[in-house]
Structure 1
Amino acid sequence: MEGIIKKSSQLLFCFIVTITINLFATANLFAADYLEVVDKNISFQWKINGSNLDVILKAKTAGWVGVGFEPSMAMKDAHFIIGFIQNNKATIEDHFGTGINQHQAITALGGKDSISNKSGKLEKGETTLNFTIPLKASDKYHKNLDTGKDVVVLLAYSDKTSLLRKHPFYASYSINLKSGAKKLLKHSK
């Protein structure tokens, strides 16, 4: 009887160790699916998901956080996704760079919101936005994001929730969305 109990205990221990290892491997595999750029207090994570780009955007702020793609100059002509959390609710908007330091909601310009799977949270002073955008442009306010070529990506955040308030931090990168290769282009001081 004592041998059976000992054998059962050993089997149970092996089972628990196997389950634990599998859980950690699965968690690391999920995290490894996303590529990432981290700059000071902001993080841009992305994953190509068929014809879409899944994004996790984080910044150490209780204000807005945003990402922009493919400007012609400064902010002009960029496709922006910008948002904030207030009262535990995520507000995430589709914007277009109407000038070198201006942007406006795409819906106000006559375009359509292309963002799906919108969610987010504010925890311990860090805003996290999750969303999905198509890799192919649906109108003149959106950008075709070629995953095999370098794409200019703008990152910014503010301590305010007004989406039109100027950002104290920004950075621009040239990023290959497929490989994750990146090069810093410009940075706020």
Structure 2
Amino acid sequence: MTVKWRIEEETIFFEMEATTEGWVAIGFNESTSLAGTYLLMGRVVKGKAEVVEHYTANAGSYKPITQYGITSQTHLISGTESDGITRLKFAIPLAAASTYHKELLPDSEWPLLMAYSLDDDFQHHSIMRTSLTIKL
């Protein structure tokens, strides 16, 4: 799985790609714990790309932030799924819009969670999950 990003003004643009035709996800948290993670899960279904923001209350318990009454911040969503590879692009604001978001400021360091599944169902378990520290 690969993740790329660039910051322009008040927006961070992401590209993520994995060898799967299921969902692909990245997450941000102050620690490597799943509890409290701001999770961005994407998929391509019938040619339509979707990226949904989730909040992870604890390991195995994550819900779209819209279920907390929070408006989604993802925009400029596009993606493809072909030859066993899912590719997604999207953007989010740098500033946190709620307590379920993270302040992703330039030059800040974050443990970045990366995961993907063989299935498009966001509740389906990941086949790969790892984390590493990045600097935005």
After TM superposition, the score normalised by the length of structure 2 is: 0.94
1:74 CA drift (Å): 2.2
Q: Where does the alignment leave 5 or more consecutive residues of structure 2 unmatched?
A: none
Structure with more of its chain in strand, by fraction = 2
- Distance in 1, matches of 2:126 and 2:89, equals 20
Residue 35 (structure 2) aligned to one of 57, 76, 101: 76
CA drift at 1:72 = 4.5
**Which residue does 1:147 correspond to in 2?**
106
1:88 matches 2:47: yes
The answer to which structure, 1 or 2, has the higher relative contact order (CA under 8 A, 6+ apart) is 2
Deviations 1:129-162 (A, max 9, x none): 1000111100011000132221111000000111
Tell me the distance in 2 between the aligned counterparts of 1:100 and 1:167.
12
Q: Which has the larger radius of gyration?
A: 1
Aligned alpha-carbon RMSD (Å):
1.2
Counterpart in the other structure of 1:125: 84
Whose helix proportion is higher, 1 or 2? 1
Cα offset, 1:70, TM superposition: 1.5
Q: 2:21 aligns with which of 56, 62, 70?
A: 62
TM-score norm. by structure 1 comes to 0.69
Calculate percent identity across the aligned residue pairs: 28
Gap runs ≥5 in structure 1: 1-41, 178-189
- How many residue pairs are counted as aligned between the two chains? 136
Q: d(CA) in 1 for partners of 2:108 and 2:30?
A: 15
Once superposed, which parts of structure 1, at least 4 consecutive aligned residues long, lie more than 2 Å away?
71-74
| CA distance in 1 between partners of 2:134 and 2:68 (Å) | 28
